[in-house]
Amino acid sequence: MFIKKLTRQVISDPDHPVVLTKEGRLRGLIVDDTYIFRGIRYAQAKRFHMPEPAASWEGIKDAIIYGPVCPEIQTVQPSDNYTVPHVFYPQDEDCQYLNIWTQSLDAKRKRPVMVWLHGGGFSTGSGIEHFAYDGENMSSFRDVVVVTLNHRLNVLGFLDLSFYGEKYRYSANVGMADIVEALQWIKRNITAFGGDPQNVTIFGQSGGGGKVAALLQIPSANGLFHRAVIQSGVLRPRPERQKGQDMAALLLERLEIQPRQAEELETVPYYKLQQIIMSLGSYADMGFGPKKDNDFYLGSIYEASICAHAKQIPVIVGNVLGEFSQNFATTCGDGRKNTWNEERAGKLIAEKLGNAADEAVGLFREAYPERRIQDLLFTDRVFRPGTFDYLKARADAGLRNTYGYLFKMEQPVYGGTLPWHNAEIPYVFRNADYIEPSYVPEITEKMQDIMCGCWCSFAETGVPQANGAPKWRPYCEDDPAIMYFDTVPEVKCSDKEEALIDFLQRHPFEMRQQDRTATARYFGGGPRV
């Protein structure tokens, strides 16, 4: 097992460590050998309006505790802590804060800067939500500067009020504008923390991956970052849920506010907005996101061509094998796939796919020859198609600076399950001791060194590589290569996997939601509610 240090040296003196930013002086702390600065304000904003740079101050301001996180429509319940340990922290609309981990304050070193964008769609989460988001181990492993941040979410960050006046022109994108302002702050100040403002990598997972993809299509972000990593962040277009102008109109109607008085929404208590959105259904808030406006945000790869500046930026894009189809969340049969023999697995596949079952099994064996056929039932069909769309779009543009991956290492929890949504994050941050139910002796330590090493080398050079991993070739039209992170990492042509994913898109089948009571019994609580 991992050996955790029970005693750590913490230093935070009146004058050390203190850094001088453009806005004023900040006092942080040193934990062992890592300099940590928490809760740094990078911007300020009125509700529904574009952010402004943080105001300057006199004297020394403490940066030793995290700043508030954005209020959430829905919150994560403690049950999720089993496989994805969470931190629960005070919420406030005034949420534009960031956190920094660095190994030195020597401005001459100019270390790569890695800026993490959290998941939770565009509606929930924060830069400190997961234990695995802690940047200390990543920073010390490859001597990089790690930054995490909070920004406006859900109705506060992505409500489209543009129909109600020019002053709300960008209201549907102010959450993304917060991130751009954070990157501006980093450009101005990161040298004081030993970072290189000319070598900034943005990386994020799920909604955070979507934010990375969006930033690549935002002209005002040009020059603020130089590499990008999209983890489980590209979805194919889906029928829109309640959002944008429809959501704005609904809020006005339910609150009995006349359209000409829409500015009254700026002062409505947040809980009232929350109640209305939650009344629409369990996941109504997950429909929020940036809106194409041909000005601030040019649109996704499905709505617009790749921005000229984005073509110059090396990109990693990929996802995990199971995502939301992990056999303890959605199920087929009893969900305990590793207890099934091939005959039983074949019958279950036939129930789902009918006459297409044999062809599906054949394609699956070609794509993943090392896996048992029952894993076909739990293979991701949510993010993988969009991931390949993104890879192909950049390859079709003639780019040779895009790297694809799939994290497919079996997790031992629940008798063996495919890696779930978020499962790769602790390996990337080198915090795999936070996923104790997934621990595999020696394998886990090796995998986190490889994945963290690849991400950090990508930040350093634009090319992902690590000791113990094969050469990671870019995904190109003439060589659609993918890195497959498994107990033994492998780089190979993805044509057989793409054929399988295309087949599963043409032959969809439903998974049954596992009984919530059973899930609660196993994991100690309820699901996200």
338 shares a domain with 308: no
The CATH code of the domain that includes 189 is 3.40.50.1820
Cα separation, 471 vs 237, in Å, equals: 33
| pLDDT band with cut points at 50, 70 and 90 for residue 45 | very high
Cβ–Cβ < 8 Å for 220, 187: no
Burial code (b: 16+ CB inside 10 Å, e: under 16) for 104-125 equals bbeeeebbbbbbbbbbbbbbbb
326 shares a domain with 304: no
> What six digits make up the tokens of 48?
């529904």
Beta strand 97-102 with 145-149 is antiparallel
pLDDT digits over 288-308, tens only? 999 999 899 999 999 999 999
Q: What is the pTM of this model?
A: 0.94
293 phi/psi in degrees, rounded to 5: -135, 5
User: Is residue 90 scored above 50 in pLDDT?
Assistant: yes
Q: Give the H/E segment covering residue 475.
A: strand 475-476
144 shares a domain with 181: yes
Q: What is the pLDDT of residue 258?
A: 96
In eight-state DSSP terms, residue 53 is E
> What six digits make up the tokens of 40?
């740094």
427 shares a domain with 480: yes
Cβ–Cβ < 8 Å for 71, 270: yes
361 domain-assigned: yes
Cα separation, 324 vs 268, in Å, equals: 35
CA angle 80, 82, 84 (to 5 degrees): 60
429 shares a domain with 306: no
Q: What is the pLDDT of residue 328?
A: 55
Closest residue by Cα to residue 497 from 335, 319, 342: 319
Q: Give the H/E segment covering residue 38.
A: strand 34-41
Cβ–Cβ < 8 Å for 505, 381: yes
What is the longest distance spanned by two Cα atoms in the chain? 73
203 shares a domain with 335: no
Query: Which structural domain, as residue segments, surrounds residue 181?
Result: 26-74+89-224+231-239+289-313
| pLDDT band with cut points at 50, 70 and 90 for residue 326 | low
180 shares a domain with 124: yes
254 domain-assigned: no
User: Is residue 334 scored above 80 in pLDDT?
Assistant: no
334 shares a domain with 306: no
Give me the amino acid identity at 456.
Answer: C
CA 465 to chain centroid? 21
CA 80 to chain centroid? 16
Q: What is the pLDDT of residue 279?
A: 86
pLDDT digits over 150-191, tens only? 999 999 999 999 999 999 999 999 999 999 999 999 999 999
| pLDDT band with cut points at 50, 70 and 90 for residue 1 | very low
Q: What is the pLDDT of residue 518?
A: 37
Cα separation, 289 vs 159, in Å, equals: 9
280 domain-assigned: no
Cβ–Cβ < 8 Å for 525, 79: yes
57 shares a domain with 105: yes
Mean of pLDDT over the chain: 90
CA distances from residue 450 to 266, 321, 347, 429, 473 in whole angstroms, order as listed: 47, 18, 38, 11, 15
Helix (H, G, I), strand (E, B) or coil at 480: strand
> What six digits make up the tokens of 164?
């109600």
Beta strand 25-27 with 18-20 is antiparallel
383 domain-assigned: yes
326 shares a domain with 212: no
| Number of domains forming the structure of the chain | 2
Mean of pLDDT values over 252-264: 96
373 shares a domain with 298: no
CA distances from residue 354 to 77, 190, 349, 359, 411 in whole angstroms, order as listed: 38, 57, 8, 10, 29
212 shares a domain with 185: yes
Give the HSE-up count for residue 268: Cα atoms under 13 Å, Cβ half-sphere: 22
Q: What is the pLDDT of residue 335?
A: 66
